[in-house]
Homo-oligomer: A and B are copies of this chain.
Amino acid sequence: MTHRVLRRAGIVITGTEVLTGAVQDRNGPWLSEQLAALGVEPAHILVVGDRPRDIAAALRFMAQERVDLIVTSGGLGPTADDLTAQVVGEFQGREMTLDEPLRGRIAEILKPLAERHPHLDRDAIEEGNRKQATIPAGSTVLEPVGTAPGLLVAPVDAVSEHPPIVVLPGPPRELQPMWERALRDGSLHAAVPRGQVARVRTLRLFGIPESEIALTLREAHRAGVEMSQLEVTTCLRGGEIEVVTRFEPAAQPVYEAFEGIVAGRHADTLYSRDGSTVDEQLAVLLNGSTRRTVAVAESCTGGLLLGRLTSRPGASAYVVGGVVAYSNEVKIAEAGVPRETIERHGAVSEQVARALADGVRERMDADVGVGVTGIAGPGGGSEEKPVGLVWVSVSDSGGSSLTRSVRLPGNRADVRDRAVTVAMHMLRRTLSG
């Protein structure tokens, strides 16, 4: 919705395993966020297989689209089918050449590997070493994190309408530190000069349909907010609505007016005005000045709520633990649910959710307990208790509790994930009073 002031970049992800869906691409989204933070707008993420002609076509496409920078990931391994460096070299008009000092540095990295695995084939290792040190002449080398060097390959004069290309390895644990180091040490300065950094603000809402936000956008326009100065993207993400707004620094007052209208219309569902996630907010609430501990007893979510709560470093300070009470016997013996409560109301019921929350809190001596029980499907549903019905209860040691049922759409994985999100929000509400 706004006119473009930003530089644009294209991202090329190579790898048949990504193209065929065997492996989820983590580099495209990561690089996209990195570029955006530098004021470079991602224009395309293009996934291609390991075939040289497809990689070359991808580069050609991006150059035609006049991006200011191309970043590639993958295809830098030691084997002969890893061809990205060569394809990029040809594209930029540069011959491949063995960089002897680089070969030596990679050999140093390989030494301990060869020592640990004496049965590995030495010729194969040396061949791979030479292959990884053979780079387009005149490129800037980004030192290896694993064994593959990254590259910054500018075009030779004859093809100077091409953008510079940053060539990175495929494994995220090599790509990410390499990119960050190259930014710090200035290696990428020629390719990534700081543009005018667009401001990006994120609002998060939980518990309303996306169409309500569409209405609010129109309302803001009617109220005289110059929406043409804001690029607003709304999206539904695991049951939450995320409203991301990009704008030039001069449009700050316009954004503030817009945010004010959202806050006014959606006071009860807008839970984050600074982009913080419910996970981050919970960590702050639990780990704050009045630290509170939490214990969980979960049935249909089968450990996913505990897995999410413990995904943050330092979670052991406030997550005591929990019980995955899949069978009724475990609900009774390990989570303190009275047998007669299950017999009278069924395992998926308000009463059992409360008993799970109370039981695990007491047994594990936590300040807050969470109980989750529901029907994730695909089997096990009935007319009265259909697939997707989930009861969540949060109780605290002061005796107050919040218990609620939801009907969640989707398949087994959707229901489980969404139920975890509902529980996270109910816990947040309880903790924030």
Our pick among B43, B54, B327 for the contact of A316 (Cβ within 8 Å) is B327
Measured between beta carbons, the chain B residues less than 8 angstroms from A61 are 57, 61
Q: Let me know if A315 and B302 touch, CB within 8 A.
A: yes
Our pick among B47, B242, B307 for the contact of A307 (Cβ within 8 Å) is B307
Q: Give A19's nearest chain B residue, CB to CB.
A: B42
Interface presence of A334 (CB below 8 A) = yes
Contact with B along A52-78 (1 / 0, CB 8 A): 001001100100010000000000001
Measured between beta carbons, the chain B residues less than 8 angstroms from A233 are 16-17, 20, 22, 50
Q: How far is the CB of A40 from chain B (nearest CB, A)?
A: 12
Interface presence of A252 (CB below 8 A) = no
Our pick among B19, B43, B49, B364 for the contact of A334 (Cβ within 8 Å) is B364
Q: A120-B211, A214-B79 in contact; A19/B32 too (CB < 8 A)?
A: yes
Number of copies of this kind of chain in the complex? 2
Q: A17-B235, A29-B21 in contact; A302/B313 too (CB < 8 A)?
A: no
Q: A78-B211, A313-B377 in contact; A21/B28 too (CB < 8 A)?
A: yes
Q: Give A36's nearest chain B residue, CB to CB.
A: B20
Q: Let me know if A316 and B324 touch, CB within 8 A.
A: no
A107 to B79, CA, bound (A): 57
**A308-364: which residues lie under 8 A (CB-CB) from chain B?**
308-311, 313-316, 319-327, 329-330, 333-334, 363-364
Q: Let me know if B47 and A46 touch, CB within 8 A.
A: yes
A384 to B364, CA, bound (A): 30
Q: Let me know if B215 and A124 touch, CB within 8 A.
A: yes
Q: Let me know if A24 and B17 touch, CB within 8 A.
A: no
Interface presence of A259 (CB below 8 A) = no
Measured between beta carbons, the chain B residues less than 8 angstroms from A334 are 321, 323, 334, 363-364
A117 to B28, CA, bound (A): 38
Q: Give A293's nearest chain B residue, CB to CB.
A: B327
Q: Give A320's nearest chain B residue, CB to CB.
A: B327
Q: Let me know if A173 and B414 touch, CB within 8 A.
A: yes
**A1-30: which residues lie under 8 A (CB-CB) from chain B?**
1, 15-25, 28-30
A310 to B302, CA, bound (A): 6
Q: Which of A132-140, A152-160, A405-413 has 4 or more CB atoms under 8 Å from chain B?
A: A405-413
Contact with B along A265-292 (1 / 0, CB 8 A): 0000000000000000000000000000
Measured between beta carbons, the chain B residues less than 8 angstroms from A425 are none
Interface presence of A237 (CB below 8 A) = yes
Our pick among B321, B325, B411 for the contact of A326 (Cβ within 8 Å) is B321
Q: How far is the CB of A300 from chain B (nearest CB, A)?
A: 8
Measured between beta carbons, the chain B residues less than 8 angstroms from A327 are 316, 320-321, 364
Contact with B along A207-235 (1 / 0, CB 8 A): 00101101100100000000000000101
Give 30 A-B contacts (CB < 8 Å), ordered by A residue.
A16-B233, A17-B242, A17-B244, A20-B42, A21-B28, A22-B242, A24-B29, A42-B49, A43-B48, A44-B48, A44-B54, A45-B46, A46-B47, A124-B214, A302-B315, A303-B322, A304-B304, A304-B307, A306-B324, A307-B307, A310-B324, A313-B412, A316-B380, A319-B326, A321-B323, A321-B330, A323-B323, A324-B324, A329-B365, A333-B363
Identify the 3 closest CB pairs spanning chains A and B, nearest first. A302-B310, A303-B306, A21-B29
